[in-house]
Amino acid sequence: MRPTIKAAVFAWLCGYSTLLWASTTFAEDIRAYDWMSLLFAASAGLLGGAARTIITMISPRALVGNVRALLMKDLVVALVGGAVVYMVIQGYNAWVSSLSIVSLPMIARDLRVLLIVAAGYSRGRWLGVVDRIATDALANVQQKLRGDAPPDAPPVVPAPETTPTP
């Protein structure tokens, strides 16, 4: 065998046990994580996003022409916002449990769900950047799919001031 390959095989044999041990502990760490809580927290955020779409549809100030595009954008933004709030809440809980002199209340599970739903529903300045990025990304994808066709109408337009016919 060529000396380079011999050296590579030797290095692989030396590293194999280490690699196995590392991957096993990583897998155990992954498995020990509370995935169901994370999954249902994500569902709560997505539900907040869908609620955003529905509230937009029943709002008298907005006309929804493309429900699917609006729902997709809201779900993307709600997932990002829910993840941010989830991490903030977990960080707050970890910080609170590390305090020793004063004791602050931890954010329990029920309040955490409500906060994540509210985060998925909310827009405004703190999610405006995410909203714009998601809108642009979805528009780019649609433009690629559409080819040379003219651009589509926006999914939501403000309702005009009208006088309904009798």
Partner 1 sequence: MRHLAFPTFRAAWRRLTTGLSASVFGTAMLHTVEDLRRYVAQAPSLPADQDRAEVRVQAIFIAMVFLLLLVEPLYYIHTVPGAMIARVASTAPSQWCVTGAFGVSFLAMVPHLWTLLFRADLLDRKGYRISATLAALGASVTWIVLANLAVPMDVGGLEWAYGIRALATLCIAGIYAFSINSQQLREVMHATHD
Binding site for partner 1 (CB under 8 A): 34, 36-37, 40-41, 43-44, 47, 50-51, 53-55, 57-58, 60, 63-65, 67, 109-110, 112-114, 117, 159-160, 162-165
Q: Which one, 60 or 147, has the nearer CB to partner 1?
A: 60
**Cβ closer to partner 1: 7 or 87?**
87
Nearer Cβ to partner 1, position 59 or 140?
Answer: 59
**Shortest Cβ 93–partner 1 spacing (Å):** 14
From the list 66, 43, 53, 67, the residue with the least C-alpha distance to 121 is 53
Query: CB of residue 79 vs partner 1: minimum separation in angstroms?
Result: 15
Question: Dihedral of CA 128/129/130/131: which sign?
Answer: positive
Torsion region of 160: left, alpha or beta (phi above 0 gives left; psi -120 to 50 gives alpha): beta
CB of 13 to partner 1, least distance (A): 43
Residue 80 CB, nearest approach to partner 1 (Å): 18
63's enclosing H/E stretch is strand 62-64
Question: Residue 11 or 156: which CB sits closer to partner 1?
Answer: 156
Least separation, in Å, of the C-beta of 113 and partner 1?
4
Angle, CA of 130, 134 and 138, to the nearest 5°: 175
Residue 75 class from Cβ within 10 Å (0-12 exposed, 13-18 middle, 19+ buried)? buried
Structure tokens given for 75 = 């779900």
153 backbone φψ class: left, alpha, beta (φ>0; ψ -120 to 50): beta
Q: Residue 32 or residue 149: which is nearer to partner 1 going by CB? A: 32
